[in-house]
Amino acid sequence: AQAVGAADSLKTFMETPLAHPQRGEAELASTDPVTIEAEELFITSPEGKTLAGPLNFTLPAGQCAVLVGRSGSGKSSLLNALSGFLSYQGSLRINGIELRDLSPESWRKHLSWVGQNPQLPAATLRDNVLLARPDASEQELQAALDNAWVSEFLPLLPQGVD
């Protein structure tokens, strides 16, 4: 039953249109470090209801951040706005470019999301990391492990990535 529910959720997620039908064309190089800035940001539902805000923050490139708060405080809404699935008012800039002006494909190459109940579907850590790019080189695999901070606990895994 959980698998069916998860499949339905994934189908709904994949079919959800972008909150900003005008597709931006500005590109971010996949290697660019990312700074995120919000000014007087209000996140809104498809019906126009304010879900969170006003938010004002800057996340400098290379800085790790943890998003915590009570249930209903807007954590998921912020992540959905950053992913382009919820609309917003105010300013939400990525490297100085308004999010709605960015190419969604270019922006989403910078995103990853680990939910509350993560599951690893493939057999090995290597297989899971390479799901999106099975043809990645060993150097690209290592870079992905480093960027996800997996390299810190990798020596504790008896079989490593395999």
Residue-level pLDDT, tens digit, the chain, 162 residues: 565 556 666 666 555 555 554 567 888 877 778 999 999 999 998 888 999 999 999 999 988 888 888 888 888 899 989 988 899 999 999 999 999 998 888 888 888 776 666 676 668 888 888 887 888 899 999 998 888 888 888 888 888 888
Residues 70 and 133 in one domain: no
Count the alpha carbons within 13 Å of 103 in the hemisphere toward its beta carbon: 9
Residue 118 lies in a domain: no
The model's pTM: 0.60
Q: Which structural domain range is residue 147 located in? A: 125-156
Residues 53 and 90 in one domain: yes
Residue 65 lies in a domain: yes
Count the alpha carbons within 13 Å of 111 in the hemisphere toward its beta carbon: 15
Residue 43 lies in a domain: yes
Query: Hunting for tokens 């939910």 — which residue is that?
Result: 115
Residues 94 and 23 in one domain: yes
Alpha carbon distance 162, 155 (integer Å): 12
Residue 119 lies in a domain: no
Alpha carbon distance 66, 59 (integer Å): 11
Across the beta sheet with 97-98, the strand order is 50-59, 36-44, 87-94, 97-98
Domain count, the chain: 2
Pick from 109, 36, 120, 118: nearest CA to 78? 36
Asked whether the beta carbons of 54 and 91 are under 8 A apart, the reply is no
